A and B are shown apart, each in its own frame.
Chain A
Amino acid sequence: EADIYQTPRYLVIGTGKKITLECSQTMGHDKMYWYQQDPGMELHLIHYSYGVNSTEKGDLSSESTVSRIRTEHFPLTLESARPSHTSQYLCASSEQPYGYTFGSGTRLTVV
């Protein structure tokens, strides 16, 4: 049974729409991460958080934003979706400095 949940699993949306991808974990982990996975399967860190009210940008520049108001919740928002945002987005959490737990991902298509 998954301890980290992402919704929706699949989303098709029109250009210019605002969207929020949800990520919640029940493990009480302080550290959470968002990765973007391209069609070639490579993973790129776009945001991370080490605790409530703490967020940082990752290695890959992204037009998305994140918030961390509660430990268990780490949503990702795109204010105006574009076709270039089409990708799979993976959320993860960890407590120790190793051993991430990943959600099942959200596959986003912007048309």
Chain B
Amino acid sequence: GNSVTQMEGPVTLSEEAFLTINCTYTATGYPSLFWYVQYPGEGLQLLLKATKADDKGSNKGFEATYRKETTSFHLEKGSVQVSDSAVYFCALSASNDYKLSFGAGTTVTVRA
């Protein structure tokens, strides 16, 4: 079946540090890949997405590239801010299914 494995947290960083959260997936066919962010006390928001191999999704300084050869979709940001403190979820949608499969989530805390 389809599944997503993402780096376990929690992750604690200083402001302006580089952030990377690893995400790998297992799926048949050609899935679409997503990163969602959940700020404290809120629902999930779509952060970025990529729908085919070698696509790069980007938003708010975050980037992730769809790597089919390594079945990965790692999230990166070059200089984090305190406001980036949140839980980040990697997810996939198989080509023949509307449902999303989520990773377990990674809690990121950025200290000033």
> Which of A's residues lie within 8 Å of B, judged by CB?
6, 31, 33, 40-43, 45, 48, 50, 58, 90, 92, 94, 97-105
Contact = CB atoms under 8 A, between A and B. Distances in A.
A21 B89 CA distance: 24
Interface string B91-112: 0010001111010110100000
Chain B interface SS verdict (over half)? strand
B77 to A, nearest CB: 20
B42 A104 contact: yes
Interface size on B, as a range, is: 20 to 34
Given A41-B104, A41-B105, A97-B93, A102 B32 contact: no
B101 to A, nearest CB: 9
Given A98-B51, A102-B45, 19 more contacts: A6-B43, A41-B38, A41-B87, A41-B107, A42-B104, A43-B102, A45-B99, A50-B98, A58-B99, A92-B44, A97-B97, A98-B49, A99-B46, A99-B49, A100-B44, A100-B100, A102-B43, A102-B44, A104-B43
B104 A40 contact: yes
Interface of B: 32, 34, 36, 38, 41-46, 49, 51, 87, 89, 93, 97-100, 102, 104-105, 107
21 contacts: A40-B105, A41-B87, A42-B104, A43-B89, A43-B105, A48-B99, A50-B98, A58-B99, A90-B43, A90-B44, A92-B44, A94-B98, A97-B93, A98-B32, A98-B51, A99-B49, A101-B46, A102-B44, A102-B45, A104-B41, A104-B43
